[in-house]
Amino acid sequence: MILYGIPTCDTCKKAIKALEAAGKTVSFRDIRADPLSEFEWGELIDEFGTRLVNTKSTTWRGLSDWLKASEADAQLAAHPTLMKRPVIRDGDTLYIGWDEATQAEILG
């Protein structure tokens, strides 16, 4: 299982802690230190579309109107930390966020 995020993200920390407590082996991928490839971004955008962009973040609020109006891939290429976190890969299945539905699906 791979969890994509940034080390300072509280939601990512909570997810890792809960997953490990449930006996899952979690590999953390810091998207700043180890950026996603164009292919990996494409895969995530294909799966989640605009939901992948966190429009509630301070980074989003600071974007130019031009970038806000652009496609998700352009926004994430310019600011990878705009990605809604965490994104979790469990085999071939991708999850976004750490809400109750995601927790129930992964943790059972």
Catalytic residue from among 3, 4, 5, 9: 9
Question: What's phi and psi for 31, nearest 5 deg?
Answer: -70, -10
CA distances 56 to 28, 81, 105, Å, are 23, 12, 25
Is 12 an active-site residue? no
Q: Tell me the catalytic residues.
A: 9
